[in-house]
Each structure stands twice: as C-alpha cells, then as structure tokens.
Amino acid sequence: MSATLDFHGARLSRRAFIGTGGALAVAVSLPVKSAAAAAPASLDAATPASWIELKADGTVTIRTGKCDFGQSSVNTAYRQIVAEELCVPLSAMTTVITGDTDRTPDGGGTFWLLGYVQNLRKVAAYMREAALELAAGKLGVDRKALSVKDGVISGGGKAISYADLVKGQDLKLTIPVEGELTSPMGLTVKGEPPMKPVSEYTIIGKPSANPMTRPKVSGEAVWVGDVKLPGMLHARAIHPATLGSKLVKAGKLDGAQFPGARLVTIGNLLAVVSPDEWEAVQAAQAVAAETRWSDWQGLPGHEGLADHLRSKADWTTFPSRNGAANKGEPEKVPAAREHKASYFLPYHKHAPISPMVTLADYRPDGSVTLHTLSQNPQHLRHMIAKMLSVGEDKVVVRTYPGSGHYGRSNGGSAGSEDEAVLLSRELGRPVRVQWMRADEMQWTTQSSCALADIAIKLDKDGRIAGYAAEHRVPPMQDDRLVGAILAGLPVIDSPAPVTKDLFQNGVNEMQDIWVYANVPAVREKAMSTWQIGEKESPIAVGLRDHSMRTPIQFQQNFPRELAMSEAAMLAGKDALQFRLDHVTEPRFKAIIEKLRAESGWDSRPSPAPGARASGQGVVKGRGMSIMLRDNGYWACAAHVAVTPETGEVKVERMTMVADVGIVINPLQLRRQIQAGCLMGVSQALHEEVSFDQSAITAADWASYPILTMAEAPEIKVVFETNLAAGNYGQGSESANALAGPAIAAAVLDATGKPVRRLPLRPEYVKEALA
C-alpha cells in the first residue's frame, strides 16, 4: 500500500514495519485548538493511543472512559457492539479498559451508555473498512469483492485474517474527533463510516455473561476500597454540624489516647489521619464530639418542604421551559368534568451500600493520582485541577469497581475525592479517605424533590379535552466538590440559570416526553429554582441535588401517570383502556396490550370492587404507568394489598413490558429491569430524606430505610427485540421510574382514594385515606 490512504474521512498510515507483534490501532485526530486544550497527562494527542486495538494474536482491546457500576454495559454490550461491527467472534474481545484518564481516549460520563457507544461503534466500523482496504492491496483482490466473517477477510478465492494482516506492522488509523476531553460530555467521533446492516447481526441480541461477575464473586477483583499504597494514611473526615456551619474551634486530639493520629484543618475541612484505620475512626469520633461549629438554620425541614416549594421558593429567576408537544389552550377548553390535583415527591438519596472512598497520592512535583470510583473521570480530573489551580496534566484519575450510586458521579464527583487529594498534599503521603455511613447520607447530593400541579379536563364522553401541568423541581445537577467548598478552594459554578459550566445549568426541561398524542390541547411547563438552602448557607452548601437514574423525568412522570389513573377513574374508564385511547404510537399500543395480557389485568374502571379506605383487613388493587425514554417504550403494572386500618402497602407483584428497540443482551437487560424496578419499589414504599432546619437527619439505614428481600415483590419482565426500531434502548433507568406511579395507582384502585405523594409509608397512607 502507499504511505497513507484516505477514506470516509479517516486516514490509514503505515509508520514502520516492526519485527514481532504488530497492531492496527485507532488514533485520535483532534482539531489543533482542542489538541492544545486536551490535557497531555491523559492520552497525549500528539502520540495517539487507541480506542480499539486489533492485535497480531487475534485479540481485541477496547478502551472507554465510561465505567461500570453494576449494569455491566461497558463489559457486555460494548464488547458485543464492537465485535459485531468489526466482525470478530465475541471471544476475541478479551480486554476492556475503562475509566482511567491516562489509559482511555474519550472522556464523558457514564450515562446514556448506548448512545455514547456510537463512538466505539464508529471506530470499529472505520477499523473494519481500513482492514478491508489493506487486505485488498495485500491479496490483490478488488475491495468490493471482499467481506469479513469471524475476523477473516475473504474474496476472490483468497483469505487473510485480521491477525495476519496486522502482523509485523505498525499501522495507524486516524479518525476525526471533536469535543473537549475533560468537559462533562468528552469527545465524539465524527464522520459516517459505513455501518453493518442490522439484518446481518449475529452477536448483538444474544445473551452474554458479564466477565466481571466471576472475579467479583470469587473475591479476586480489586475494588476501590481495596487499593493500598506504601506509607498510606487512613483518614476520616469530620464534616460540619450543619449544611451551613463554619468551624469555630476544632476539638483537641488526645495524643496519649491516639498516639498515631494527627488532626488536619484546611478551612472548614477537618480530618483525622492515622496509619491505623481503627485509630483514625476512634480519634475522629472523639475530636468530632469536642468540635464546635457555628449554628445555622436555613432549611424548611422535610415536613415543610411541600409548603416551601409552593409558597417560598423563587420560581421566576430560572426561565421555565415548555413541553415540546404543547398545543392549543387547555385552560380555555370546556370541560364536562375536571381532575385537578397537586403531587409531591420528597428528596431521595442515591444511597450506595458502601460509602465513598478515595486514595490520593500527591507527589512533590505537584502531580497527583486519584484511585477512586467515578462515572466521569475526565471531568473529575478537570475539577481537581481547578481546585488545586494546576494544569490538568498534573492530575490522573484511576477508577475501580465500587458501590453503585446511580448517576451521582456522572459529572465526576460522588464524594471523598477532593478531600483525599487535599490531605495528601498537606501531609506529603498517600491518603485514603473512607467516608462513614453518616458522611455518605448527610454530605452527599440528593435526587431532587418535586411539586406538580396537574389539571385534566374530560369531555362528555370521558376523553381528555385538555391537559395542563406545571412541574416545580430544584435543579438536577450539582457536581461541585464539597471538600473543596469546605476548604475554600476553587470549584465550578453552583447551579444557576446561566453558567459557563455545562452541567451546572439549573434550568429544567420537560424530560418526560408527552405520549398521549390524541389529547387535543396540552400545556406542560418545567420550572426550576435555586437549590434549597444553598444561598442561605454561609458556606454555599445547603441541600445539593444530583441526577439519579431518570433525572427530572422521574419527578415529572410520577404526577403525570398517577393523574392519568385518577382521570380514568373520574371518567369511569379502565386505566389501561384510557391510556390506549389516548396514545397513537403503534409501539405504545402494542406494549400496553401486552401489559394487559402479561399482568393479568382485569379491565374495569377503578376503584376495585370491594375497595375501601377504612376498616380492618386487606383490600387489593392494580395500577399502571407508561413512559417513553430514549426511544424505548415502557409499560408497568403493580398489584398491591393495602391494609386501610394501618396504612400498610404491600406490593405483591410487578409486571414490566418494554420495547427498547434492538436488545443488545437479553440476559443483562432482564437483570437490569428487575433490579431497576425493585429500586423503584423501594423508593415508592420507603424513601424520603428527612432533614430539619439545619441538617439532613437521615444518617443511616434505620433513618433511611430501603426495600428488604422479604418485601421484594414477584417480578415479571417481558420484552422482545425490535430490529425495525433501529436503535439501542435503555435498561434499568425507566424500570426504576415506572414503579412509583403504578404502585400509587394500585393503592388508588384498592382504596378509592389517591395518595398523591411518595413514599407510601403507613403514616402518609393513613393520613391520605382518612
């Protein structure tokens, strides 16, 4: 071949023949501006590293800045998608390198994974095309006559494997890329290489086990908390008494009782370190008990939260957003009957089982390596560099398996990272900061609370004539490093209507896509405000928020779907048929009908025969919800038993039906949906972040209970691949959001009375039934 070959916007070059080994590596071609900005301590843009390596032994390595926190997609779906596009067996995909800023090329966050995977898919397509071009030259066969199967290119009576093609050569494929590596969204692969037709898929759609499962259950996997370095110190943070307190006087560390421990104070950030972890724990407790913080009372308290959202919060500074499907004037539509109600959701915690932990190694040359868990390591790197006022080239983030935390770190930080860096810098030794349960509950972000007003007008035939909704939700994303805030060091902007920090824009969109296309007049409005207590807090903390699973859509879908069930009851119609009557999309019609069959839905209006809101014994009901997310169509049914006298709600079974388009891995998707649904049941039954005027009071699993195994309902999951839809859909996120409104609708059916809030704890249910 000639020295270089250009095709589909990519460039293939052979730099040299090499003695042994050999590889076709995909390099990153960045525009000059970005190349300068993209930090050298990551992959040096001038010495491009690989997204994908086809090796001379026939194996393939892929690298992605995304991580895995349990849904396994980067280890399962990503391997399948690349293998499919490259036309190699899945068994050739031996290595997946994830999330280390110095070993992966792309950045971005661990969310929308099957959208982001288009990067690797395109790279694989570029690579396959490059290999075909190379083979045409080598075999002396016209390119058009060649095809690939199982890693072997053949045509014109000749054949050569990928492995033989790259053997002894150092080939570089250069592809077009745009974006900023350490921005929240990272890099995007450009160009339109030819993609393998969906009809030829042989690997996508097949069940495939997660290769990480065995090392995890055998105990061999190195988790984030397991990393050790020589000379490492164990640290415990002593966080302020309230979300607005400043340090008045640090407690004294008793050197006789804790001879190995040392107290470190950096602004309002206080910590105890020791070579002995148990000493650090005990000494930190002792110091904390003696430490004085300034008083602060700037929160409404969880019992006053709904009133605060209604009458005190400022909803005018942040521009509101209209729904994309708004049409007509629902307020002017005449109504035979009208359903009008307000709905409330409390704050939820991400509540990982294991609290956050980071080991940081700050070195004398001013560079630092973090061993941590993060869903956005490159943006964490950006924020750590900002905190230290150093170049991003000084910061490396290495990530490890850790406790799932459902979106909390998708902008980089989940907690502890910055504190470990600052303590390591202060002490000149590697420092491991392990948050305790209370730090994890009280000093992390929460999923936003919500207040919604819904008005549904019915015509004389019981069909919806007009739908109006106003959704009030605090901003969904605050990625600021809380340790840096306490230390008084630079952080990105706090959520605001206007900001240069992409993800910190606090304006809410209508995330819950309108699905009832038959409704003639629709007005949906999404509103936002400042984070509760942040402006009042002298240290700018307050109740920080962060996206969790279906962010904002969760908060908007619950009121919409419960209101739809109530409107159906008002219309005297079956809740399932009522929805069918108002959707037009055939994919929705199909899954709603499937839900009817698979859930054993008894078609009738609510309330259920025998429904009652008082008295002894159990009443039963069923409810449903639907959602459109990432071109995936979802329907959910819940069957519950309610004891009106006590307000106790037992979820007996859940049915989830989905059309997510092309299913990559049915084995993993089934597990994702089951688990996501059960997390949703947990939120629906139990979860509310309690707080007083000063601090979060939910500090452990007793004060923030979640679902137990005994309470877990039976779950039925039904889906089929839909090749015609042409896209890869999402897994557990939607399942998580659908449970709440379906369960609440089932309580409505069982009792005849709505409970327009979560959680459905006995005291709240009893109050609503009274």
Partner 1 sequence: MTKIVVNGQQREVKASPDTPLLYVLRNELGVMGVKFGCGLAQCGACSVLLGDEEVRACVTPVAAVEGKPVTTVDGLPARWAEKKGLAPDPQRLHPVQQAWVDEQVPQCGICQFGMMIKVTELLEANPKPTDADIREALTSSGPSPHLCRCGSYAAILEGAHRAAKLMAEGGAA
Minimum separation from the CB atom of position 48 to partner 1 (A): 33
Does 679 participate in binding partner 1 (rule CB under 8 A)? yes
State whether the Cα torsion 63-64-67-73 is positive or negative. negative
Helices (H), 91-167: 113-139, 162-166
Does 46 participate in binding partner 1 (rule CB under 8 A)? no
- Binds partner 1 by CB under 8 A, chosen from 404, 483, 506, 740: 404
Q: Can you tell me the distance from the alpha carbon of 443 to that of 175, in angstroms, rounded to the nearest whole number?
A: 43
List the structure tokens of 761.
């704890």
164: alpha, beta or left, given left = phi > 0 and alpha = psi -120 to 50? alpha
Q: Which is nearer to partner 1, 32 or 289 (CB)?
A: 289
- Binds partner 1 by CB under 8 A, chosen from 677, 742, 745, 768: 677
Does 706 participate in binding partner 1 (rule CB under 8 A)? yes
Minimum separation from the CB atom of position 331 to partner 1 (A): 41
Q: Which is nearer to partner 1, 373 or 454 (CB)?
A: 373
Does 740 participate in binding partner 1 (rule CB under 8 A)? no
Q: Can you tell me the distance from the alpha carbon of 428 to that of 484, in angstroms, rounded to the nearest whole number?
A: 18
Neighbouring CB atoms inside 10 A of 198's CB total 16
Among the listed ranges 26-34, 210-218, 454-462, 538-546, the one in contact with partner 1 (CB under 8 A) is 210-218
The strand pairing partners of 428, in sequence order, are: none
Q: Can you tell me the distance from the alpha carbon of 254 to that of 274, in angstroms, rounded to the nearest whole number?
A: 13
CA atoms within 13 A on the CB side of 41: 21
Are 763 and 690 within 8 A, CB to CB?
Answer: no
List the structure tokens of 371.
């061993």
Minimum separation from the CB atom of position 665 to partner 1 (A): 10
Between 732-751 and 553-571, two packed helices, what is the crossing angle to 10 degrees? 30
Are 71 and 732 within 8 A, CB to CB?
Answer: yes
423-442: which residues touch partner 1 (CB under 8 A)? 434, 436-437
Local structure of residue 353 (DSSP, 8 states): S
Contacts for 489 with CB less than 8 Å, ≥ 6 apart: 267, 387, 388, 422
Does 236 participate in binding partner 1 (rule CB under 8 A)? no
> Between β-strands 158-161 and 169-179, what pairing exists: parallel, antiparallel or unpaired?
unpaired
- Binds partner 1 by CB under 8 A, chosen from 57, 164, 277, 453: 277
Does 708 participate in binding partner 1 (rule CB under 8 A)? yes
Among the listed ranges 70-78, 296-304, 307-315, 458-466, the one in contact with partner 1 (CB under 8 A) is 70-78
Does 674 participate in binding partner 1 (rule CB under 8 A)? yes
Residue 485 buriedness (CB in 10 A; 0-12 / 13-18 / 19+): buried
Q: Which is nearer to partner 1, 51 or 69 (CB)?
A: 69
The strand pairing partners of 96, in sequence order, are: 62
Does 245 participate in binding partner 1 (rule CB under 8 A)? no
Does 389 participate in binding partner 1 (rule CB under 8 A)? no
3 state DSSP class of 753: coil
Q: Which is nearer to partner 1, 216 or 292 (CB)?
A: 216
Q: Can you tell me the distance from the alpha carbon of 325 to that of 323, in angstroms, rounded to the nearest whole number?
A: 5
Q: Which is nearer to partner 1, 424 or 736 (CB)?
A: 736
Q: Which is nearer to partner 1, 16 or 289 (CB)?
A: 289
Minimum separation from the CB atom of position 738 to partner 1 (A): 13
Does 700 participate in binding partner 1 (rule CB under 8 A)? yes
- Binds partner 1 by CB under 8 A, chosen from 250, 325, 502, 712: 712
Does 71 participate in binding partner 1 (rule CB under 8 A)? yes
* Sheet strands (E) in 18-151: 23-29, 52-55, 60-64, 93-98, 147-149
- Binds partner 1 by CB under 8 A, chosen from 16, 46, 289, 709: 709
Does 715 participate in binding partner 1 (rule CB under 8 A)? yes
- Name the nearest CA neighbour of 265 among 307, 237, 243: 237
631-670: which residues touch partner 1 (CB under 8 A)? 667-668
Does 678 participate in binding partner 1 (rule CB under 8 A)? yes
Q: How far is CA 291 from CA 285, 294, 690, in A?
A: 10, 10, 24
Does 101 participate in binding partner 1 (rule CB under 8 A)? no
Does 80 participate in binding partner 1 (rule CB under 8 A)? no
485-524: which residues touch partner 1 (CB under 8 A)? none
Minimum separation from the CB atom of position 687 to partner 1 (A): 11
Are 552 and 511 within 8 A, CB to CB?
Answer: yes
Contacts for 531 with CB less than 8 Å, ≥ 6 apart: 474, 475, 478, 494, 495, 506, 542, 543, 544, 545
Among the listed ranges 20-28, 147-155, 216-224, 504-512, the one in contact with partner 1 (CB under 8 A) is 216-224
State whether the Cα torsion 323-327-332-334 is positive or negative. negative
- Binds partner 1 by CB under 8 A, chosen from 345, 351, 492, 548: 351
Does 731 participate in binding partner 1 (rule CB under 8 A)? no
- Binds partner 1 by CB under 8 A, chosen from 58, 65, 70, 251: 70
Does 710 participate in binding partner 1 (rule CB under 8 A)? yes
The strand pairing partners of 523, in sequence order, are: 468
Minimum separation from the CB atom of position 565 to partner 1 (A): 24
Q: Which residue has the tokens 């391997």?
A: 79
Minimum separation from the CB atom of position 255 to partner 1 (A): 17
Minimum separation from the CB atom of position 272 to partner 1 (A): 15
Number of shown-chain residues binding partner 1 (CB under 8 A): 57
Q: Which is nearer to partner 1, 216 or 535 (CB)?
A: 216
Are 673 and 658 within 8 A, CB to CB?
Answer: yes
Are 112 and 630 within 8 A, CB to CB?
Answer: yes
Does 79 participate in binding partner 1 (rule CB under 8 A)? no
Per CB under 8 A, residues contacting partner 1 are: 69-72, 209-210, 213-214, 216-219, 222-223, 225-226, 276-278, 281, 351-355, 357, 401-404, 434, 436-437, 667-668, 671-672, 674-682, 700-702, 706-712, 715
